[in-house]
Structure 1
């Protein structure tokens, strides 16, 4: 059991060792931002239904096809959600390689 997000994040990164899995996560998270932008830009909240589909869809495909493990979402949903966005920011900062 993880006692803090910091401890979990180390585990989270170890579950994303495959570069292609990280790329799938990055693509899915980027598409989530596009979907949210379209929803805000058009004023049509129906677009938001696509956010979890692209976000989780790309990530889960990355785990099944490349990483060959079970996404942490199923055992640690909140930490996993936060971990994805922290990893996204770390990729943008160059702390995690794509």
Structure 2
């Protein structure tokens, strides 16, 4: 594992009743993102206890790869398509491996 690897947790909350619509938008991100250079892992999870809560668990080879992802056309399109389905803006947290 490279010390420059970045792990990302992106927490996304749907407005009540909009879970299925948001899920459809988020699922569309998976295939193009996994094909991006520097994408090591990209998984979408949903809370069984609270189905309005989604989280992307991501691993990127570098901060540059993550930054390229964040400005990609498919991410921009997903932000626009999901705007009416979100309870709040996504919370995106980045982590670096310490040991």
State TM-score, norm by structure 1.
0.36
State TM-score, norm by structure 2.
0.36
**Which has the higher relative contact order, 1 or 2, with Cα contacts under 8 A spaced 6 or more apart?**
2
Higher helix share: 1
Higher strand share: 2
